[in-house]
């Protein structure tokens, strides 16, 4: 503990062992209802303290956190480029520092070496920190032979409007948490650890629904108002691991248990979209806006009847409807796990919102996950005139670190 | 209801009457734990449905919402300028539309005239929408005689680095909610209502701690890691109303029950600040970082002993310590209610975070609230070299609308 006073670990007490969810700590927190009192240890009830710690995501494991971890309400994506002069050795030291910091912060502890105290009073808040390597990392560190062929550049798509300065990068970090201060605290700690070794190439902030804001757990909505994520593969499905993670005997071997992530900053042209009106929007998507059910009826999880025709003899779900084009069984069984954040960076000079989706998708092989789906969308998706891909990244995310190991160690010391 | 399907009102059921807090709806929400099911009405337990609605802020009242409302975790500040050709009549129609929309959305209902559905499945999430008028509004609408002298321009401060394009404006709207999608939904609805009458001049996004992230309600922290808001006046204090709100016989009469808000985008130079280390930071502030207690001891709410000297014979709380300069009893009893959001708009070209505080403070008279405190800070605050005021706004926020009334009606139809 670099700081004096109450540690975050002490504050959260015997956390982690209970089944209580974060939300149960409850109570609207704000200055008006908040008589200040430094006696945190005595003021918080045992149930409150325990419930905070229950919301801890594990750092160690077969896979890194932040892939099958439930969506958090706040997210930061950051890409770094190695500083000139920094090579394999410096990168290894950085990943070692980063891993130690991620483990501490995810447990609700302070960062080493001068904690900023921004997250001091909070529990873990479902913090997850995930690390990845971009294609350029391998040439800069003399590790070309270890570079996975899965990191070959993504093909160009005709609808891309990519800003190179906000695309790719040597290293990538994804931070998610259900408290904005906990997320920001982690972001600063990660950035400070990089000082001298890597500098920020780009950084994006995103958000999702807050836990407890809806009456029941449900598929999230995006800023177009659509239920988004209906067809995501579920960890309970038998092919899930095979589709999302590199197998234990995969190639290269240092990627065992890892996954490849495609990150796209997809701006939504919301003024145009909202002008359409609900009926026309539903035709573009092929689903009802209210509940995500297919236009051919049922509930969100009902299979769309792709051949069903209406009174006019035309198919109810149009040939270019987004839901038809993205259906897994229309794409050779390809599957990716989409785990996005929405973003909103204010309004541009024309008064239009700079808002949309930080699309983050996970797969064992981008050429069988993202690429074939995006190719089909690129050719004939009715949604494409309402969105614009403005940045793109592809990163190799190694498997989770074992105890005493750091993320990427099998690559950097292999 | 402009949309078909389940209305937000139906979803939240008999909300509002219960004492349950939002957090109790509980459960981490995310795709992994979220088997989709459109049967919302049956799937949500009664307790869950009720708890969502409990988190409703009232639109009608003596004062507008968003002033004494507990801090929400997500906030949007937007300034609008009237379009050319728009005058008093058009402004009145806009405030009427805005008020109706604010009332509906704060109750968890849809917006009229094409709801975007972004907030569809959520409860009110403590949404508050607050409206204000800038000095320029009165000349553009021929209402010069109604312009409060309290809207006279703020004096220049030597440490200001103000961007005029992001300062002031004819109209100002503050949106706060505990769910980011509910907040964004309101922002879009408010912006769309303005089409043809006013255009966005500037817009800023902010955040605070999420409800439930700390073990007990407590004073918030800012991005410097400081406990921030300790000396805020409390609504239970006898002078609170007099200091924060314009009295019922105040001048001008249309401002009865209203308040004046000063908005400053205060960038924090976090790289410099964090380099200081905890001890030096505590000397700058005059309080301990761990719990906000004065350097002279006690808890957060203990009075600082301003005359106490240390072994070196110097005062423990330095002459230029922030806590000394901002103490209300050092400022002739002036008081303002600070109700800020933190902001983080990524990193600038130098790799430094564009982050800090959306300082929002409320008072019956800015010349007795914000101005004298800022004058003292401007002259000798040790904190000033670590912050930069980058934008500034001053707005007259009228009293709350009664039933059947809209905000500002007493001005616009007076």
DSSP β-bridge partners for residue B199: B81
Residue A159, pLDDT score? 85
**Helix, strand or coil for residue A77?**
strand
Question: Tokens 């209502």 label which residue?
Answer: B193
Question: Tokens 């959520």 label which residue?
Answer: B122
Q: How far is CA B176 from CA A340, A357, B102, B397, in A?
A: 23, 21, 11, 16
pLDDT band at B330 (very low <50, low <70, confident <90, very high): low
pLDDT tens figures, B273-319:
999 999 999 999 999 999 999 999 999 999 999 999 999 999 999 99
Instruction: Identify the sign of the CA torsion B333, B337, B343, B348.
Output: negative
The angle, 0 to 180 degrees and rounded to 10, between the axes of the packed helices B180-194 and B88-106 is 160
What ipTM does this complex have? 0.88
Low-confidence ranges of chain A (pLDDT < 70): 1-54, 216-217, 328-334
Check pLDDT > 70 for residue B10: no
Which residues from chain A sit within 8 angstroms of residue B22, using beta carbons? 23, 26, 28, 212-213
Which residues from chain B sit within 8 angstroms of residue A208, using beta carbons? 30, 180-181
Beta strands in A249-405 (DSSP E): 259-268, 337-338, 341-347, 353-363, 387-397
* Closest Cα in chain A, distance from residue B118 (Å): 4
pLDDT tens figures, A131-179:
999 999 999 999 999 999 999 999 999 989 999 999 999 999 999 999 9
Residue A238, pLDDT score? 87
**Helix, strand or coil for residue B49?**
helix
Residue A331, pLDDT score? 60
Which residues from chain A sit within 8 angstroms of residue B31, using beta carbons? 70-71, 219-220, 229, 232, 339
**Helix, strand or coil for residue B240?**
helix
pTM: 0.89
Are residues A188 and B274, on separate chains, in Cβ contact within 8 Å? yes
Are residues B30 and A217, on separate chains, in Cβ contact within 8 Å? yes
- Name the token pair of A156: 């160009």
pLDDT tens figures, B19-49:
222 222 222 222 222 223 332 333 334 444 4
Best of B7, B180, B280, B352 to substitute, by most chain A Cβ atoms within 10 angstroms, is B180
Q: How far is CA A215 from CA A231, B50, B297, in A?
A: 21, 9, 45
The angle, 0 to 180 degrees and rounded to 10, between the axes of the packed helices A88-106 and A180-194 is 160
CA distance B314 to B321: 13
Continuous H helices in B19-177: 40-43, 46-53, 88-106, 135-140
- Name the token pair of B47: 């307790």
B351 versus A83: the higher-pLDDT residue is A83
Share of chain B above pLDDT 90, in %: 74
Question: Which of B376, B339, B379, B345 minimizes the C-alpha distance to B359?
Answer: B339
Check pLDDT > 50 for residue B207: yes
B46: nearest CA partner in chain A: A215
Beta strands in B337-386 (DSSP E): 337-338, 341-347, 353-363
Best of B19, B38, B66, B70 to substitute, by most chain A Cβ atoms within 10 angstroms, is B38
Element containing residue B271 per DSSP (H, E): helix B270-276
Mean pLDDT value across residues B249-256: 96
Check pLDDT > 70 for residue B365: yes
Residue B6, pLDDT score? 37
DSSP β-bridge partners for residue A176: A75, A128
- Name the token pair of B200: 């966005």
**Helix, strand or coil for residue A17?**
coil
At a CB cut-off of 8 Å and minimum separation 6, what does A348 contact? A354
Residue A388 and residue A67 in contact, taking contact as beta carbons nearer than 8 Å: no
Residue A16, pLDDT score? 32
B233 versus A392: the higher-pLDDT residue is A392
Residue B162 and residue B205 in contact, taking contact as beta carbons nearer than 8 Å: no
Question: Which of A203, A239, A248, A246 minimizes the C-alpha distance to A345?
Answer: A203
In the residue annotation, B228 being an active-site residue is answered as: yes
Check pLDDT > 60 for residue B174: yes
Burial A94-126 (b: 16+ CB within 10 A, else e): bbbbbbbbbbbbbbbbbbeebbbbbbbbbbbbb
Share of chain B above pLDDT 70, in %: 85
Task: Return the ∠ at Cα A197 (arms to A191 and A198), rounded to 5°.
Answer: 55
Establish whether the linkage from the previous residue to B287 is cis, with ω within 30° of 0. Answer: no
Instruction: Identify the sign of the CA torsion A354, A358, A359, A365.
Output: positive
Element containing residue A79 per DSSP (H, E): strand A74-82
Instruction: Identify the sign of the CA torsion B302, B303, B305, B306.
Output: positive
Give burial (CB, 10 Å; 0-12/13-18/19+) of A311. Answer: exposed
Continuous H helices in A349-402: 370-380
At a CB cut-off of 8 Å and minimum separation 6, what does A112 contact? A2, A100, A101, A104
- The region that residue A224 occupies, defined by phi over 0 for left and psi between -120 and 50 for alpha, beta otherwise, is alpha
Beta strands in A93-238 (DSSP E): 128-134, 171-177, 198-207
- The number of beta carbons lying within 10 Å of the beta carbon of residue A236 is 8
């Amino acid at each position: 503990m670099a700081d004096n006073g109450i540690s975050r670990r002490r504050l959260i007490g015997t956390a982690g062992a209970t089944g209580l969810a974060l939300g149960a700590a409850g109570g609207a927190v704000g200055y008006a209802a908040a008589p200040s009192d430094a006696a945190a240890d005595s003021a918080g009830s045992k149930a409150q303290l325990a419930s905070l710690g229950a919301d801890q995501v594990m750092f160690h494991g077969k896979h890194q956190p932040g892939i099958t971890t439930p969506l958090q309400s706040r997210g930061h994506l950051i890409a770094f480029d190695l500083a000139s002069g920094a090579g394999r050795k410096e990168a290894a030291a950085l990943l070692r520092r980063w891993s130690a910091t991620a483990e501490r912060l995810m447990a609700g502890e302070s960062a080493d070496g001068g904690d900023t105290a921004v997250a001091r009073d909070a529990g873990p808040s479902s913090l997850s920190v995930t690390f990845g390597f971009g294609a350029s990392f391998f040439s800069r560190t003399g590790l070309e032979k270890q570079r996975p062929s899965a990191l070959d550049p993504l093909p160009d798509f005709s609808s891309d409007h990519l800003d190179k300065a906000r695309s790719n990068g040597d290293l990538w970090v994804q931070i998610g948490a259900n408290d904005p201060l906990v997320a920001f605290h982690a972001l600063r700690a990660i950035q400070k650890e990089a000082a001298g070794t890597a500098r920020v190439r780009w950084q994006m902030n995103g958000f999702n629904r807050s836990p407890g804001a809806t009456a029941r757990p449900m598929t999230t909505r995006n800023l177009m108002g659509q239920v988004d994520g209906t067809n995501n593969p579920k960890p309970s499905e038998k092919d899930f691991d095979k589709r999302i993670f590199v197998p234990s005997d995969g190639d290269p071997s240092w990627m065992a248990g890892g996954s490849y992530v495609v990150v796209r900053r997809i701006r939504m042209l919301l003024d145009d979209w909202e002008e359409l009106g609900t009926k026309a929007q539903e035709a573009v998507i092929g689903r009802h806006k209210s509940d995500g059910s297919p236009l051919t009826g049922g509930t969100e999880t009902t299979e769309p009847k792709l051949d069903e025709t209406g009174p006019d003899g035309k198919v109810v779900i149009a040939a270019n409807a987004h839901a038809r084009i993205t259906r897994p069984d229309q794409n050779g069984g390809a599957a990716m796990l989409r785990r996005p954040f929405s973003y909103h960076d204010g309004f541009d000079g024309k008064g239009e919102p700079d808002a949309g989706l930080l699309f983050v998708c996970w797969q064992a092989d981008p050429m069988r996950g993202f690429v074939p789906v995006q190719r089909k969308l690129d050719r004939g998706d009715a949604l494409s005139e309402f969105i614009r891909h403005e940045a793109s990244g592809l990163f190799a995310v190694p498997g989770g670190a074992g105890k005493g190991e750091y993320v990427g160690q099998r690559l950097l010391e292999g």
